[in-house]
A and B are shown apart, each in its own frame.
Chain A
Amino acid sequence: MSTLDTRDSRPYWQRYMPGHHWRSAAEEFDSCKFGFWLFLSTEVLLFGGIFCAYFIFRSLYPGAFMEGSRALDWRWGALNTVVLLVSSYTMAASIYCVQKGLFSRAKLNLWITLICGLLFLLIKFTFEYTPKWSGYFFVLDPALSHHTETMVQGKTAFMGLFQYVEGYGGKRPGSLFDFPFAKDANMPLWWSVYYSGTAIHALHVIIGMVLIARVLKRVGQGYYGPTHYTMVEVSGLYWHLVDLIWIFLFPLLYLIH
């Protein structure tokens, strides 16, 4: 990046020099943000394709889409929405803290953001995906109480943490998805839109978490500070986009009946 005098004992963020092709650090910061907004527009267009498919198939097969969204438990979706909103707040707070030089508070906020991301993924995988694929519910899942008759006693997995329910789980996507209660022949389309949308979103949550983890590590090492916090800002922008996409996915998939 830039030549640094190793005898200088100031923290990295105070010694930082922009790339040699920039006229100033401010120009580099502005350009990085501009470039990142351009990148975010590509992400919006990527998800735009999925939303486009959603709207087209919803208008063609409204019955399938209504039934499909009833098959989802809106409470998990709402919980995930709250989790992501909290994480967006703590992400923004961490940027503010770095700008003010409050490094330990910044790290705390970043940790909370990461944990929220992890919680999001855990809820999605454990409470939403796994039962639908395999019929195995997490033992503490409140939805289990609705399936006491079809619960197969003694059939558990993963050290007794998951309980099998007969007839509930469909087949994992990989063989034509077949939700057993579906009357509508177009249900596979609903499930395709649901899985593509949420899976690609979950992938972006993971990418966001990688970015935040790296930022967290580097805040600890003194890389970022009041005069140099480009990566923190940019990771924040990415995380906010991930949150925003979920804010659109949630009502479209879970709430509209």
Chain B
Amino acid sequence: MAHDAHHHGSYLTPKGGFWTTVADWATTVDHKKIGMMYLVAILFMFFIGGMAAMAVRLELFEPVRTHVDPTTGAAHVTGQLFGSKADADAGNIKPGNNLYNRLFTLHGAIMVFMVIVPSIPASLGNFFLPLMLGAKDVAFPRLNLLSWYIYVIGSIFAVTSIILGGVDTGWTFYTPYSTTTDPGFNRVAIMTLAAFILGFSSILTGLNFVVTVHKLRAPGMGWFDMPLFIWAVYAAAIIQVLATPVIGITLLLLTFERIFRVGIFDPALGGDPVLFQHFFWFYSHPVVYVMILPGMGVISDVLAVQSHKKIFGYRAIAFASLGIAGVSFIVWGHHMFASMSELASMVFSALTFLVAIPTAVKVFNWIATLYKGSIVLNAPMVYTLIFLFLFSIGGLTGLPLGTLSTDLHLHDTYFVVAHFHYVMMGGTIMALMAGIHHWWPKMTGRMYDEKGAIAGALLVFIGFNLTFFTQFFLGSRGMPRRYASYVDEFQIWHQISTIGSFVILLGFLVHLFVFLASLATGKKAPANPWGGLTLEWVADSPPDEHNFHHEPIVTHGPYDFETVVPPHWDPKDYPIPAENKVAVSHH
């Protein structure tokens, strides 16, 4: 398609009155609008899941103690945030514990299924995949809209289950607890159906991305000319397509078991709870790489642009992404060392160490990229550094969990909770924040306040470490997870952790304020504020409805900062020394 003569204005320009605009967004097949809707929904669900977490941390500030009055012999309860006064006076801790159990399940289910799995692919991926490839849209725009609506419907199912009282099985739904709890109600079935539906949203998004990357690259863009963000999202999309159906069938069978008593996981029916664990983790381990790979892709791109430096080891990072995706399918058993045979445990432990290598290599490559760079410490860069710090801790603490003898001690303790928060929140969420700030000018056409954003980032960073580093100690000192209360010796650690969670909350509130201020009164953003070289910076800020005015043709690599003036930049502001121009090749 040659020169597109239609200048429709930016994708954000309203088409008419309020209801016309609503109808336009509700029926849009424009990947940018769909990406924005996902972004808002994901951030909203993040807030809901976060509120559940705050409630959990508040409850854990004090252990639940039952006191017996020596004279009357009556029992009463202190330290329980949930539960009514009547229960507390009667010494009955069960209702409060029950509410706690529902809240931590809610936190897990919302965060995993509605926030982190879609997070970067559905929002930033949808928005930028076509732009970075120089395409007008994804391969199947209507399927994209269908994915969005499936996400909405799945979330409605989940919210329905919550409104009806919620479930207390933990987000992992282990049998036979999940097949026997709450008899007579179908809240568990509604929640498992919600996750099943959300799985389809994920599958269709992944499918769309794989075909887009194969078929819609701009002329001149070979596989090794693509930005690393695309490689990362592509690898994650492959996992989404292949792994998600397995959780689909697992949850479907679990739902059948609850409703029809047709089952293969409940021992009362002759089934096997360990089989459920195998089915469940066969998906749920690869999915954690769906969660982190796109985040790593964001970091690669943000790092390169904000330090105006070619990424060190491009091919290593590209192949490491594919390698991680492949190996992720064969390590699921490391979630089950305490329930599997010795032989299986040995095999899975050895394979688990295998997946640590490409991950470590990526971290080394990123740090090496900083060498001799030209680094600007703005909010995206600060979040990138925060990612490198927190994700390294998360990744390294995976080692004692993969080691068999130490895992027998640490499994199902707060050590695991700390580890996965470091990689999922300290990794994916920090990468999401880096990406949002990096691409904010492009998506909204406005700049945000740097100082406010950096203040928010530092608050989140400090709060995060306070909250979760203490949990490593809690775990190795013996505190099990999913506990509504605990013995006295753990209290000081829990108190520090709860205080940290408030600091995190404060940090995100600062961000919210910065975002709203930017939308209301932010400076108009130039097309290429950071000097990036990938194709999204060629488009306007915010992009035109059809993305590009002319079909882009690729003549340089995505990170050729030493030899190429960034699009829309005045060459006077970007003097390339003569020695850089010698022996130019774009790899």
Residues of A within 8 A of B (CB): 19-21, 23, 27, 30-32, 34-35, 38-39, 41-43, 45-50, 52-53, 56-57, 61, 64, 173-177, 185-186, 188-189, 191-193, 195-196, 200
Contacts and interface: CB of A to CB of B under 8 A. Distances in A.
Contacts of A191: 262
A41 B211 contact: no
Contacts of A47: 249
Given A21-B216, A31-B211, A196-B252, 16 more contacts: A19-B137, A19-B141, A23-B1, A31-B214, A31-B215, A32-B140, A39-B203, A42-B203, A42-B207, A42-B241, A49-B249, A57-B264, A61-B270, A192-B257, A192-B263, A192-B264
B246 A196 contact: no
Contacts of A175: 261
Contacts, number: 115
B241 A41 contact: yes
Interface string B533-549: 00000000000001000
Contacts of A177: 261-262
A50 B141 contact: no
B210 interface: yes
B211 A38 contact: yes
B498 interface: no
Interface string B188-232: 000000000000000100011011001110000000000000000
A34 B139 CA distance: 11
Contact of B248 (A20, A46, A192): A46
A60 to B, nearest CB: 8
Contacts of B136: 20-21
Contacts of A49: 245-246, 249-250, 253, 279
B245 A27 contact: no
B271 interface: yes
A45 B242 contact: yes
A34 B211 contact: yes
A138 to B, nearest CB: 23
B260 interface: yes
Contacts of B261: 173-177
A184 to B, nearest CB: 10
Which of B143, B208, B211, B275 has the most A CB atoms < 10 Å from its CB?
Answer: B211
A42 B242 contact: yes
Interface residues of B, number: 43
B215 A45 contact: no
29 contacts: A20-B546, A21-B135, A21-B139, A21-B141, A30-B215, A31-B139, A31-B211, A38-B207, A42-B207, A42-B242, A42-B244, A42-B245, A46-B249, A48-B245, A48-B246, A48-B249, A49-B249, A49-B250, A49-B279, A50-B253, A53-B275, A175-B261, A188-B270, A189-B270, A192-B271, A196-B252, A196-B256, A196-B262, A200-B252
A34 B262 CA distance: 36
Contacts of A195: 256, 260, 262
A175 B262 CA distance: 9
Nearest to A56: B275
Contacts of B130: 21
B269 interface: yes
B491 to A, nearest CB: 44
A170 B140 CA distance: 47
Given A27-B215, A34-B211, A177-B261, A188 B139 contact: no
B242 to A, nearest CB: 6
Contacts of A174: 259-261
A34 B210 CA distance: 9
Contacts of B269: 176, 188-189, 192
Interface of B: 1, 130, 135-141, 143, 203, 207-208, 210-211, 214-216, 241-246, 248-250, 252-253, 256-257, 259-264, 269-271, 275, 279, 546
Nearest to A188: B269
A34 to B, nearest CB: 6
In the A-B complex, the 4 residue pairs with the smallest Cβ-Cβ separation, listed nearest first, are A49-B249, A21-B136, A45-B245, A46-B245
B470 to A, nearest CB: 39
A174 B186 CA distance: 13
A35 B139 contact: yes
B253 A196 contact: yes
A42 B17 CA distance: 42
A178 B135 CA distance: 58
A35 B208 CA distance: 7
A41 to B, nearest CB: 7
Contacts of B211: 31, 34-35, 38
A50 B279 CA distance: 10
A38 B204 CA distance: 10
A53 B208 CA distance: 30
Contacts of B279: 49, 52
Nearest to A20: B136
B160 to A, nearest CB: 22
A46, A176, A192: residue with the most chain B Cβ atoms closer than 10 Å: A192
Contacts of A64: 270
Given A41-B242, A46-B249, A200-B252, A193 B270 contact: no
B262 A173 contact: yes
A65 to B, nearest CB: 12
Nearest to A35: B211
A41 B207 CA distance: 10
A47 B136 CA distance: 36
Contacts of A196: 252-253, 256, 262, 264
A188 B179 CA distance: 15
Nearest to A27: B215
Contacts of B210: 35, 38
A193 B208 CA distance: 32
Nearest to B247: A49
B141 A192 contact: no
A87 to B, nearest CB: 25
B427 to A, nearest CB: 27
A195 B141 CA distance: 36
Contacts of B215: 27, 30-31, 34
Contacts of A32: 140
A189 B271 contact: yes
B4 to A, nearest CB: 9
Contacts of A189: 264, 269-271
A173 B260 contact: yes
A193 B257 CA distance: 11
A61 B210 CA distance: 41
Contact of B270 (A23, A56, A173, A185): A185
A197 to B, nearest CB: 10
B1 A20 contact: yes
Contacts of A193: 264
Contacts of B241: 38, 41-42
